[in-house]
Amino acid sequence: MRPWWLLLLSLSLQAQERPAQIVELNQLLPKANYDIRYVGSNNFIGRPIAGYEAPKCLLHLDAAKALKRVAVKAAESGLRLKIFDCYRPKKAVADFMAWAADPNDNAKKASYYPNLEKSALIGDYIAPQSGHSRAATIDLTLEQQNSSGQWQELDMGGTYDLFDPVSNTLHHDVNPLQRENRLMLKALMEEQGFKAYPLEWWHFTLAQEPFAALYFDFPVR
């Protein structure tokens, strides 16, 4: 058996490198809509986030294959996936925490946390560690084509990264259509082995996480 310190060193080194099992979903599922928010300024901080160098979705192969099955099933109903975030480096999580600790930066409050104080975001919405850093968690929604053939998001009763109780999957303030859309997304994901995060209708994690004990920090590139 290897000494404990050698095991920790091995895990630390592994966390800095992209394992071969983590793949680009963009290549495996090219017909999805990739709106990777943290590589640009369209997000709750309003600027590019540390560790995001390209608009790519990186996921463990098991999660990527499961998501491809979700996309195939969704397509049977004329729907496609719109993906906001996948693997998230630890440095990005640290960037979130630093922003959350700054009481003076509230430029995006009206759009992303209108009913909560910034300090209330730490815990349920922003945490020192994120399951996204294990490469089996994904944030997404569904789209359908309108009468002009343009793809539009289904009405979920709230936007992505809206830090508010109304984002809870079963919140009572959403109308019947919005609830139906949320539950449809949830059902599609759960059928392929994902579990939902009840506070955020868009957030799902593969139930059998291959890297359940690791948090990676290689960049998205």
Would you kindly state where each structural domain of the chain is located, as residue ranges?
A: 4-206
| DSSP E strand boundaries for the chain | 22-24, 33-34, 58-60, 79-85, 137-145, 151-153, 194-196, 203-206
Instruction: Assign domain 4-206 to a CATH class.
Output: alpha beta
What is the reported pLDDT for 213? 87
Successive 10-residue mean pLDDT values, the chain, 221 residues: 43 70 96 98 98 98 98 98 98 98 96 96 96 98 96 98 98 97 98 98 97 94 95
Catalytic residues: 200
